[in-house]
Amino acid sequence: MRYTEYHNEIAVIKDKALLKEAMKKLAKYEDCEESKINGDIVRNMSDEELAMVIMCPYGSDGITCKDSERGLSCIDCSLEWIKAENVEVEE
Ligand SMILES: [Zn+2]
């Protein structure tokens, strides 16, 4: 159940009689924010952020990657790999 609505883009409580319940729900959201483990941060990353932190999906040393002749870094190949449909990666 939703306790808030927007008035001119400002969030307000719909029914002040439900303030106690609304605060309980807000507290739960705040608990979630505070208890973020590193895995949660990784799972919330954008494709671009993820490409920066994962290792090359082709097992490259970062210098002689399969697309280095195209001038692509392993961040580029990682981003392409992230956006590609799931297929087996060659060893
Ligand atoms: Zn690479």
Ligand 1 centroid – CA 72 distance (Å)? 8
Ligand 1 centroid – CA 36 distance (Å)? 30
Ligand 1 centroid – CA 61 distance (Å)? 8
Ligand 1 centroid – CA 55 distance (Å)? 8
Under 8 Å between Cβ of 8 and 40 = no
Please give the pLDDT value at position 91.
64
On the question of pLDDT at 35 being above 80, the answer is: no
User: How far is the C-alpha of 12 from the C-alpha of 38, rounded, in Å?
Assistant: 33
pLDDT-based confidence at residue 48 (cuts at 50, 70, 90): very high
Ligand 1 centroid – CA 85 distance (Å)? 17
Instruction: Choose among 61, 62, 42, 66: nearest CA to 53.
Output: 42
Domain residues of the chain, as ranges? 4-35, 44-83
Please give the pLDDT value at position 59.
85
On the question of pLDDT at 17 being above 90, the answer is: yes
